[in-house]
Amino acid sequence: MKQNRALTLLLINLFIPFLGIGLVIPVLPTLMNELGITGSTVGYMVATFAVSQLIVSPFAGRWVDSFGRKNMLLVGLLLFSVSEFLFGIGKGVEALFVSRFLGGISAAFIMPAVTAFIADITTNEQRAKALGYMSAAISTGFIIGPGVGGLLAEFGTRVPFFVAAALALVAAVFTVTLLEEPKRQRVEDVVGEEMTGMSRMFSAKFFVPFMVILVSTIGLVAFESTFSLFVDHKFGFAPRDIAIVIMGGGIVGAIAQIILFDPLTRWLGEIRVTRISFLISAVLAYCMTIVHTYFLILLVTMFIFIGFDLIRPAVTSYLSKIAANEQGFVGGMNSMFTSIGNIIGPIIGGKLFDINLDFPYFFSVVILMIGYMLCFIWKAPVDKTPRPQQEANDA
């Protein structure tokens, strides 16, 4: 019961800031037009978020292990609130870039803290389901956020940012008053090795999954960072239309995470689930360039989010099983490689968007297929610890 309460509170605290992120998605094209921002500038702005996350993530992962999951989560939520408020009051491009920089720092604290927290309160058997719920909480925030953001935008372009800042403060209050620091599990490394610092990222058991994170993030963010601009410029979608399309895709993705993720990973293993998700995502990313009707755009978007939303929890679940006693470290590395992808993807996507609306999606297809092929050389480590059932799944 105590574990369920902690997990519920953790998911709520994670849901709220991602709801805040989702709120602002429908107003980005309007804000872009107000300030005269190009697609490349939007790409650089998104990349600024990733740069700060990249810089801080390796340290944040260690701090999560050293200073506690709860403390780092609280710091991240407060920074997120400040960043959204600054975005709301910012009248120039400079203020928006500062806001994104602070937002990246907040993400560097939040994600490793939440991932390590979940690893501490679950067993290996429970973890895939819990991480599926974690991804569903993130997706649900994006589902509800754009819809609410589209409505709030009727009262003013900046209103969604102020609401996001307030919601992050609510999450911080939940963290302080209701969440207790977890008791950390002491487990043996499944391959009989001890992680000894940053150099561990190059070890055989970590390097390929970290590259999978990097490649998947580049492909996914190149798609996502230009999506609202794509449908606005190509189809003339209003903020409300953008919200409906994103909500439809998010709903399907969240359902897949809640209902399908745990049984799929038990049946196929994390590696095969990731491989199949790459293939589905690549095919549907290409389909986005050839569909023309509102219904087909909604249909393709809905199903592409299934592939997108299964990759992240699958790799995270795999890493948590082999991370032994350094969940914060692995969470930090996960966040760091995500950040690198978040830098590369939006910049390339933004530049390609300025050349041709479809080019970011062609680029995404190529990158996602590279990820698909990379999964064929991704092998799970041999488990040297006696267990009643093998936890790591081979390809």
Identify residue 89 by its one-letter amino acid code.
I
Q: What is the model's pLDDT at position 79?
A: 93
Contacts of 278 (CB under 8 A, 6+ apart): 216, 307, 311, 368, 369, 371, 372, 375
Which is nearest to 20 in space by CA: 77, 94, 90, 93? 77
CA distance 186 to 182: 12
CA distance 263 to 261: 6
Residue with tokens 């290996």: 124
Work out the pLDDT band at 185, boundaries 50, 70, 90: low
Dihedrals phi, psi of 306, to nearest 5 degrees: -65, -50
The model's pLDDT over 44-76, given as tens digits with 9 standing for 90+, comes to 776 777 788 778 877 887 888 788 888 999 999
Q: What is the model's pLDDT at position 148?
A: 76
Q: Following DSSP, what letter does each residue of 156-168 receive, concatenated? A: -TTHHHHHHHHHH
192 in any annotated domain? no
Work out the pLDDT band at 191, boundaries 50, 70, 90: very low
Rounded percentage of the chain residues whose pLDDT exceeds 90:
8
CA distance 281 to 288: 11
Mean pLDDT of 199-211: 74
Q: What is the model's pLDDT at position 391?
A: 42
Q: pTM (2 decimals)? A: 0.66
pLDDT > 70? residue 251: yes
Residue with tokens 């995404």: 364
CA distance 37 to 23: 20
Residue predicted with more confidence, 312 or 394? 312
37 in any annotated domain? yes
Q: What is the model's pLDDT at position 363?
A: 93
Q: Following DSSP, what letter does each residue of 8-30 receive, concatenated? A: HHHHHHHHHHHHHHHHHGGGHHH
8 A C-beta contact, residue 280 and residue 142: no
Tokens describing residue 51? 């740069």
Mean pLDDT of 382-386: 49
Q: What is the CATH number of the domain that holds 268?
A: 1.20.1250.20
Which of the listed ranges 86-95, 134-143, 279-288, 337-346 does the model predict with the highest average pLDDT? Answer: 279-288
In this structure, the chain runs to a length of 395
344 in any annotated domain? yes
278 in any annotated domain? yes
pLDDT > 70? residue 194: no
394 in any annotated domain? no
Domain that holds residue 23: 2-180+199-377
Mean pLDDT of 300-329: 76
Residue predicted with more confidence, 246 or 190? 246
Which is nearest to 347 in space by CA: 48, 101, 40? 40
CA-CA distances (angstroms) from residue 260 to 69, 220, 329, 391? 28, 20, 28, 19
Mean pLDDT of 349-355: 86
Tokens describing residue 145? 């956020």
pLDDT > 70? residue 390: no
Rounded percentage of the chain residues whose pLDDT exceeds 70:
83
Residues 149, 152, 158: CA angle, nearest 5 degrees:
90
Q: What is the model's pLDDT at position 368?
A: 92
Q: For the chain, what is the mean pLDDT?
A: 78
Residue predicted with more confidence, 226 or 1? 226
- Quote the number of domains for the chain: 1
